[in-house]
Amino acid sequence: MAKVNRSEMEEFLSKEFPQANFLIESFDEDSVTIRRTVTTEDLRPGGTVSGPTMMSLADCAIYIAILREIGLVALAVTTSLNFNFLRKPVASKDILGVCKMLKLGRTLAVAEVTIYSDGDDRPVAHSVGTYSIPPNK
Amino acid sequence: MAKVNRSEMEEFLSKEFPQANFLIESFDEDSVTIRRTVTTEDLRPGGTVSGPTMMSLADCAIYIAILREIGLVALAVTTSLNFNFLRKPVASKDILGVCKMLKLGRTLAVAEVTIYSDGDDRPVAHSVGTYSIPPNK
Amino acid sequence: MAKVNRSEMEEFLSKEFPQANFLIESFDEDSVTIRRTVTTEDLRPGGTVSGPTMMSLADCAIYIAILREIGLVALAVTTSLNFNFLRKPVASKDILGVCKMLKLGRTLAVAEVTIYSDGDDRPVAHSVGTYSIPPNK
Amino acid sequence: MAKVNRSEMEEFLSKEFPQANFLIESFDEDSVTIRRTVTTEDLRPGGTVSGPTMMSLADCAIYIAILREIGLVALAVTTSLNFNFLRKPVASKDILGVCKMLKLGRTLAVAEVTIYSDGDDRPVAHSVGTYSIPPNK
C-alpha cells in the first residue's frame, strides 16, 4: 500500500531536511515512529522538554506518515494540530512520536501521534493533526 | 485499579440516565466501548448520522471511562472536546465508541474515543476530550 | 461580498431544515448570530444546557456563515470541531452563537463561534470548526 | 483587575526568560499582543514561518495573559493547545499574537490567540489554549 519504503524516506529526509534532528525509529505497516534527540535548547526551566519541541515532533511524524502513503513529490500542508499535554517529559531522554493514520482522503489526511519519553510507556502528550493534500497528488 | 465494575456501572446509568439510548458494549481493562442505537431523529439529510449524535456518544463514553476509575460519586465536567469527522457513518447501523484513557490526573482527565459504524473497522470519527475532576473526589 | 442575503438564507433554512429550532438573530458584515430556543430535552441534570445542544448550535452557525459566502448550492461538510466549555449555561435562557469566519479558502473554511446564554455577555462556550468545501462550488 | 502591569511583566520576562525573542507589543484591558522577530532558524523551505514558531508565540502569549491576571508567582502549565493554520505567513515580517482570555477560572484558564504577519490584518493562524492553574495560586 505504502508508496515509499524506509530507506527511500530516509534518503529523502536527509536531502530535504539536512539539519533535522530526528530519526525514523520504526516504519511499521500501521504506524511510523520518530525519535528526536532532546538538546539543551529544547529544554524549559524545571528540566522538561518544551511544548514546541513536542509539537514539532508530532507535525513531522504526521508529515512522514502521509508522504509514505502518497509519495515524496506531494506538497502536503498542515491545516490543524490539536495537542494535549499529559505528563512532564523527562529532560534527559529522547522523545518518541508514534503516528497512526486515521484517514487518508483525496484532499485531507488526519493522523494521531502519541508522544513518549524514551523508556516510559505512559504518554507525555497526544496530538491529532490534519493535513491538506494538493489536488494533483 | 478500576473502582466500579460493569454491573455497578450499568445500574448507575439506568438509575441516573433512564432515558439514555446507549449500552455498555464492553468494559475491558484498557478501554470502554459504548453502543448507541441510531434512531430516525439522529439522522441527517443524505442518510447519515448527525454530528451531535456522535459527539454525544463520545462525551458519554469518556464520562463512563472516568467514573469507573474515580468512582460513581464524583462530579466530572467536560472542559473540552476535539472532534475530527473522518468518514460518513452508515445510517442504518448503530455507532460504537471505543474510549481509552490518556491521562487520569488528580484534577484533569484526558481520553480519546474512536467511533465506528457497527460492522466496519474504519473509524467514522475520532475525538479527544478533557474532563475536570472536582478536588474532593 | 456575501452571495446570500438574510431573507434568502431564512427561506433556504425553512425549506431545507423545517424541523430546525434556531433562528437567525443577526446577519452582520463580519459575523452571523444564531439563536436557539432551549427546550426541556436540551437540558441536563443540574439545570444546564447539554453539550450536544451547544455543539449543534456551533456547527449550524458555521454552516450558515459559510453558505452565505459560497452560495446555497454548495455541499459543505464539517471536518473538525474543537470545543471549550467555559461556564455553565443558564437552563431557562436561549443560547446565542456568534460566528466569525477565520478563513474562507477554495477547499477549506475555518470559523469560530462564541456561545452565550441570552442576556449575559460572558461566553459559556467557544468553538472552532473547519468545513471542507467541494471542488466545484 | 489585572495584578501585574506592563513594566512589571517586562521585568519578569527579561529576568526569567533572558533568551526569549519576543516583546510585549501592547497590554490592553481585554487583550495582550506579543511580537516575535522571525529569524532564519524560524523559517521553513518555501519562505514561510515554521509551525512550531507560531505555536511557541501562541503559548507564550497565553502564559503572559494569564500571569497578569493571577500574579507572577503562579506556576501555570499548558494542558492543551488547538491550532488552525489559515494562511502562509510572510517570511520577512515579524509575527504578532493577539491573546484574549475566554475564561479565567480557579483551576483552568482558556484563551484564544490570533496570529498575524506584521502589517497584514488577515490572520495567519488561530489558536485556543488551556492552562491548568495550581490550587494555591
B13-64 pLDDT per residue, tens: 998 888 778 999 999 999 999 999 998 888 877 788 989 899 999 999 999 9
DSSP secondary-structure letter at A3? S
The ipTM assigned to this model is 0.90
Asked if B69 has any chain A CB less than 8 Å from its own CB, the reply is: no
Banded pLDDT at D137 (limits 50, 70, 90)? very low
- D-chain CB neighbours of C128 within 8 Å are 82, 84, 126, 128
Asked if C78 has any chain A CB less than 8 Å from its own CB, the reply is: no
Task: Note whether B112 contacts A110, CB cutoff 8 Å.
Answer: no
Q: What is the pLDDT of residue D29?
A: 92
Closest A-chain CA to D18: A45
D96-123 pLDDT per residue, tens: 999 999 999 988 999 999 999 999 999 9
Helix axes C6-16, C51-70, angle to 10 degrees: 130
Q: What is the average per-residue pLDDT within A9-35?
A: 91
Q: What count of other Cβ atoms lies within 10 Å of the Cβ of residue C80?
A: 26
> CATH number of A6-132: 3.30.465.10, 3.10.129.10, 3.40.50.300, 3.30.70.3400?
3.10.129.10
Asked if D26 has any chain C CB less than 8 Å from its own CB, the reply is: no
Residue A109 has pLDDT above 80, yes or no: yes
Q: What is the pLDDT of residue A3?
A: 92
Q: What is the pLDDT of residue D44?
A: 79
Residue D110: what residue type?
V
Q: What is the average per-residue pLDDT within A6-14?
A: 94
Task: Note whether A103 contacts B87, CB cutoff 8 Å.
Answer: yes
B95-133 pLDDT per residue, tens: 999 999 999 998 899 999 999 999 999 999 999 999 999
Of A82, A102, A114, the CB nearest to B123: A102
The span from the CA of C38 to the CA of C42, in Å, is 6
Closest D-chain CA to B103: D79
Q: What is the pLDDT of residue B134?
A: 80
Q: What is the pLDDT of residue A42?
A: 87
Which chains pack against C, by 3+ Cβ pairs within 8 A? Answer: A, B, D
Q: Are B6 and B25 in contact (CB under 8 A)?
A: no
> How close does chain C come to B75, measured CA to CA in Å?
11
Backbone CA torsion sign across A34, A35, A37, A38 = positive
Q: Are C66 and C104 in contact (CB under 8 A)?
A: yes
Q: What is the average per-residue pLDDT within A12-34?
A: 91
Banded pLDDT at C18 (limits 50, 70, 90)? confident
Asked if A12 has any chain D CB less than 8 Å from its own CB, the reply is: no
Q: DSSP string spanning chain D?
A: --SS-HHHHHHHHHHH-TT--EEEEEE-SS-EEEEE---GGGEETTTEE-HHHHHHHHHHHHHHHHHHHH-TT---EEEEEEEEE-SPPPTTS-EEEEEEEEEE-SSEEEEEEEEEETT--S-SEEEEEEEE--S--
Which chains pack against B, by 3+ Cβ pairs within 8 A? Answer: A, C, D
